[in-house]
Amino acid sequence: MSHSGDCVILGQIEAADIRYGRRRSLLVSVSDNTGKLILRFFHFNQSQQRALTRGSWIQCFGETRRGSHCFEMVHPEYRVFPSEPNPNVESSLTAVYSTTEGIGPTLIRKLVDQALVSELPHIEELLPREIQQQFNLIPLTDAIINTHKPSPDSDTTALIEGIHPAQQRLALEELLSHHLALSQLRHRREVAIAPAFFRDSHSWAKLIKNLGFSLTNAQKRVIREIFDDISGSSPGLRLVQGDVGSGKTVVASAAALLAIDNGYQVALMAPTELLAEQHRLTFTRWLEPLGVTVQWLTGKLGAVERREAIKNIASGGANITIGTHALFQSDVVFHRLGLIIVDEQHRFGVDQRMALRNKTSHTNSANEEQNHTHLVPHQLIMSATPIPRSLAMIFYADLDVSSIDELPPGRKPVKTIVLPNTRRGEVALRIRRICEGGQQVYWVCPLIDESDKLQAQAATETCKELRTQLPSLRIELIHGRLKTREKERIMSAFSQGDLDVLVATTVIEVGVDVPNANLMIIENAERLGLAQLHQLRGRVGRGAEKASCVLMYQPPLGKLAKERLSIMRDTNDGFKIAQQDLEQRGPGELLGTRQTGLQQMQVADLSRDKHLLPTIEKIARILIATYPESIDPIIDRWIKNKEQYANV
């Protein structure tokens, strides 16, 4: 044996001894006619130790690495034989599966073998022969066999990387199923009826004059696209994605005013109370002078306030209702709901968005009642997490996508600095200088554990520490466990410049807009993903001054964390960051685990397999035109909860 790497070895056990040091370990010495190898086990039991006796033969698979005296394998997979076995025991390569507690690799392989024998004869080839030949696809049963039991001469590098033709055949069909499901969804939406709005909005024309700033060309273009959607009688379903600070809120207000001027109600749903509060303040400031009634509905309203709110919504007195998950509750019914705006929609599950869509009266006018028409509201979805094209083609194929790809004039890129937390003292001095110059600072305290309680504790400790270090500064604390009125008071004080430093958990990730805050410190930044770091950084640099973001980390840094922090330091481009986030963490992290009601991909990897997407689009077109009977079986094979998924 002359090199490191994954390999299979067959040899005889010379000795098996327990070594006591910093960690107890079982060392098994194995040799053949080419040399010696040490197997090292940190987790072992007595029966395992008894089985590894001198003179027995062992076949094992694992990664070899250079030890102090010879090559070693740590926790290899292995099989013990009483006498020397035939070295060509297996007719195929041995698959390595992810394991879970109580189910080891040997049991998993046994179960897979049983499943292949019992189920493979019943697996139907769903792609027509013409498509298989045109796109040079191997048969499905061959793909399954070669994925689980590849022949000994298979390209092991391709198998490990997931790019072997057998794996790619399975990935293609899985991605195709999602694409077809969303195509069906788009078709169902197009045949539904929505209220068609007249395009003229006198309220929007007034608001533009009162805003105090000019719209960017990108904002004007996206507003035109939205107006085109909602002036038609097919339900509009548009995703508006824009980098932090690109001005999505004013675009949403244009759509809301068009719906209100046409006599319909609007629901705006946000994932957190703080973001909902920000929207309420902004929309109240902009819309109430135009005679629009803004209704507030969250779970923390008192019983009397809540009854009044529900009555106002049901009677049609509330023109726009802004809230959180409270909008889903069964007693909330809209009189004439025409438009739903969902902010940061990847935070909501399918069932929640469905519940909101169905919260209007079955008929919206006497004419509609006569025709027994049930109108479906238009939907406008906003996201500050730009979606890479490969992701949009699979998860958002049913949506029309608009991008606000231009920042308002005067927005400067935020300078990002990466520091170890051993330099906290220097950071505190910098905070003092900045605040003495009249500017304000965010200090963000994230935790691995997402519980509000633990985040609140961490932020509380940091707040105490900063008050001790910086006694001359006005420092306050905000977190998810504070009462709504207390959060409002603190945010209002910070917005008006009555606080110097706001210590916060990640509740301030989206929606908070304080132009005078030009420094953000994010501690334990290595624990956050790229998209979340970018969202947080977007809270500063909203004024005319230069802004900075300090990413403070706990050394030592792992390889991925180091890459993430380097990317943040090198770019402010949200689309580049989203693409890197997809490559590093996969779509489940980028979209949020509850994003769609689809299960996570079983075989496909959207970053690795994006080259398949053009082929998938071509195959989908052929199936829709020529083989429509194949579509439902393909979707049913790969997607659970299809009916729920198709109704969003």
Best mean pLDDT range from 334-348, 356-370, 512-526, 576-590? 512-526
Residue 79 exposed, middle or buried by CB count within 10 Å (0-12, 13-18, 19+): middle
- The pLDDT value recorded for residue 370 is 39
Write the single-letter amino acid at 420.
P
Over range 581-592, report the average pLDDT: 57
Cα–Cα distance, 375 to 364 (Å, whole number): 7
Higher-pLDDT residue of 276 and 521 is 521
pLDDT for residue 393 is more than 50: yes
Residue 428, number of CB atoms within 10 A of its CB: 18
Is 611 in contact with 605 (CB distance < 8 Å)? no
Residues in the chain: 648
What backbone phi and psi angles, to 5 degrees, belong to 596? -125, -20
Residue 647, number of CB atoms within 10 A of its CB: 16
Cα–Cα distance, 300 to 406 (Å, whole number): 37
Residue 475 exposed, middle or buried by CB count within 10 Å (0-12, 13-18, 19+): buried
First to last CA, the chain: 58
Quick one: tokens of 621?
């077109």
Residue 293 exposed, middle or buried by CB count within 10 Å (0-12, 13-18, 19+): middle
Cα–Cα distance, 24 to 446 (Å, whole number): 35
Run of H or E residues at 300: none
- The pLDDT value recorded for residue 372 is 42
What lies within 8 Å, CB to CB, of 140 at 6+ separation is: 123, 125, 126, 127, 169, 170, 173
pLDDT for residue 440 is more than 90: yes
DSSP helix, strand, coil percent of the chain (3-state; round to 5): 45, 20, 35
* pLDDT interval class at 532 (50, 70, 90): confident
Domains of the chain: 5-89 (2.40.50.140), 202-404 (3.40.50.300), 415-571 (3.40.50.300)
- The pLDDT value recorded for residue 174 is 93
| 23-33 burial code (b ≥16 CB/10 A, e <16) | eebbebbbeee
- The pLDDT value recorded for residue 252 is 96
- The pLDDT value recorded for residue 338 is 94
Residue 604, number of CB atoms within 10 A of its CB: 27
Over range 331-340, report the average pLDDT: 91
Distances (CA, A) of 50 to 4, 44, 116, 136, 137: 29, 11, 33, 52, 49
Run of H or E residues at 539: none
SS3 83: coil
- The pLDDT value recorded for residue 360 is 61
Over range 470-497, report the average pLDDT: 86
pLDDT for residue 373 is more than 60: no
- The pLDDT value recorded for residue 625 is 94
Quick one: tokens of 26?
């079982």
- The pLDDT value recorded for residue 140 is 94
Q: What average pLDDT is seen over the chain?
A: 82
Is 16 in contact with 6 (CB distance < 8 Å)? no
* pLDDT interval class at 507 (50, 70, 90): low
Strand partners, 343: 382
pLDDT for residue 144 is more than 50: yes
- Beta pairing, strands 71-74 & 35-41: parallel
Q: Which residue has the tokens 């490990």?
A: 160
- The pLDDT value recorded for residue 159 is 84
**In this prediction, what percent of the chain has a pLDDT beyond 70?**
83
Query: How many Å separate Cα 501 from the centre of its chain?
Result: 30
Cα–Cα distance, 603 to 471 (Å, whole number): 56
Over range 338-356, report the average pLDDT: 65
Is 277 in contact with 491 (CB distance < 8 Å)? yes
- The pLDDT value recorded for residue 644 is 45
Over range 116-121, report the average pLDDT: 88
- The pLDDT value recorded for residue 270 is 86
- The pLDDT value recorded for residue 327 is 84
Q: Which residue has the tokens 């406008």?
A: 380
- The pLDDT value recorded for residue 512 is 63
pLDDT for residue 266 is more than 70: yes
Higher-pLDDT residue of 347 and 315 is 315
Cα–Cα distance, 548 to 414 (Å, whole number): 5
Over range 297-324, report the average pLDDT: 91
Quick one: tokens of 590?
């980028």
pLDDT for residue 178 is more than 80: yes
Over range 433-438, report the average pLDDT: 93
The sign of the CA dihedral 175, 177, 180, 182 is negative
**In this prediction, what percent of the chain has a pLDDT beyond 90?**
37
Is 408 in contact with 222 (CB distance < 8 Å)? no
pLDDT for residue 17 is more than 80: yes
SS3 80: strand
Cα–Cα distance, 70 to 189 (Å, whole number): 65
* pLDDT interval class at 601 (50, 70, 90): confident
Query: What pLDDT, in 10s, does the model give residues 64-113?
Result: 888 777 888 888 878 888 888 765 555 566 676 666 666 767 778 788 88
Best mean pLDDT range from 214-228, 360-374, 550-564? 214-228
Quick one: tokens of 153?
């001469």
* pLDDT interval class at 203 (50, 70, 90): very high
Instruction: Give the range among 5-14, 121-130, 392-401 with minimum mean pLDDT.
Output: 392-401
- The pLDDT value recorded for residue 401 is 84
Cα–Cα distance, 152 to 322 (Å, whole number): 61
SS3 354: helix
C-alpha angle 162-168-173 in degrees, rounded to nearest 5: 130
Rg (CA), the chain: 30
* pLDDT interval class at 530 (50, 70, 90): confident
Q: What is the pTM of this model?
A: 0.67
Cα–Cα distance, 111 to 636 (Å, whole number): 24
Cα–Cα distance, 314 to 329 (Å, whole number): 13
